[in-house]
Chain A
Amino acid sequence: MARHPNKRQLLQWLDGEADELDEHVDTCERCARTLEGLESPEADLRPALLSLLAPPDDLEQRINDRIAARVQDRRDMALFSSLLGVSVETGRVVFEPRGRTA
């Protein structure tokens, strides 16, 4: 878009409309400044977001356990692969379930 959208169009974009302006607004410093002048909501979103996205209480323990198991798997895979004389990648292709990534 060669021309900058006017304030009415920018307000429409803020309201989730006028998606055709996305490309321009995403890269235009001037429109970003205009939008900052148009909109300055005071609401504190942090408490709501923290509550909504709160990790489970035992997340750290679970992740530590899962990572430990994964690292152990890799050690086992490396040992098994070396015994068979194939690469770890070959061992992984043969033994790991479909869709599982390294």
Chain B
Amino acid sequence: MTEPTPAEQLEELVREHLDAVYRVAFSVVRDSALAEDVAQDAILKAWKALPTFRGESSLRSWLLRITHNTAISTLRRRREEYRDPDLLPEHEQLITTEKKVVDTMSMNAFEEALESLDELSRSIVVLREVEGMAYDEISEALDVPLPTVKTRLLRARRTLAAALEGWRP
């Protein structure tokens, strides 16, 4: 059996993992356009780094770690940009990414509850509840201690479960 070409590897990353990558990105940045940018960057970074991937964790854990880190750095950069008056759009007030989302979406209780969590907790809850990853896998993917995963997840679940009553898909 022949090794996949780089182009085939890229296709497979997109085909197999894009949805999970997007969900983690969106949970952190809370803006769909920005999440798409993060997803693209994370997949390209992973693709370029594939030759150095040593298989010590699963490919998915590794890719989602890259995604989480890319999302966090993108969010930080975006916040810095909004602090720089030179980068503000003309005739617009200072608005954060989060505020834009609030303004353009009808936020319900569940969304607000998710929004109220810190970025790390949002990633943890998505990796556990949606992607079904084990605690130790999440700990490794996000490079945080195991108790952090467990306790942040408990608090996030409590917050989200309380809001679920008001959530309608």
Interface residues of A (CB under 8 A from B): 13-16, 25-29, 31-32, 35-36, 39, 41-43, 45-53, 55-56, 59-60, 62-64, 66-67, 70, 99, 101
Interface residues of B (CB under 8 A from A): 10-11, 14-15, 18-19, 22-23, 26-27, 32, 36, 39-41, 43-44, 81, 110-111, 114, 116, 125-126, 129-130, 144-148, 150-152, 154-155, 157-161, 164, 167, 169
Please state if B157 and A45 are interface contacts (CB–CB under 8 Å): yes
Within the complex, the shortest CB–CB distance from B23 to chain A, in Å, comes to: 4
Please state if A13 and B155 are interface contacts (CB–CB under 8 Å): yes
Within the complex, the shortest CB–CB distance from B120 to chain A, in Å, comes to: 9
Please state if A56 and B43 are interface contacts (CB–CB under 8 Å): no
A63 to B40, CA, bound (A): 6
Within the complex, the shortest CB–CB distance from B152 to chain A, in Å, comes to: 8
Please state if A32 and B44 are interface contacts (CB–CB under 8 Å): no
Please state if B151 and A32 are interface contacts (CB–CB under 8 Å): yes
Known: A26-B151, A31-B151. A49 touches B146 (CB 8 A): no
Report the nearest B residue to A34, measured CB to CB: B151
A48 to B145, CA, bound (A): 27
Please state if B147 and A26 are interface contacts (CB–CB under 8 Å): yes
Please state if A63 and B18 are interface contacts (CB–CB under 8 Å): yes
List, sorted by A's number, 30 A–B pairs whose CB atoms are closer than 8 Å.
A14-B155, A25-B151, A26-B144, A26-B145, A26-B148, A26-B151, A26-B152, A27-B145, A27-B147, A29-B147, A32-B147, A36-B154, A39-B157, A39-B158, A41-B158, A43-B164, A47-B169, A48-B167, A49-B130, A50-B130, A53-B26, A53-B130, A59-B18, A59-B36, A60-B14, A62-B36, A64-B11, A67-B10, A67-B14, A67-B44
Select B147's contact among A15, A25, A39, A46, beta carbons within 8 Å.
A25
A90 to B46, CA, bound (A): 24
Known: A56-B32, A63-B18, A66-B40. A41 touches B161 (CB 8 A): yes
Known: A45-B164, A53-B26. A35 touches B146 (CB 8 A): no
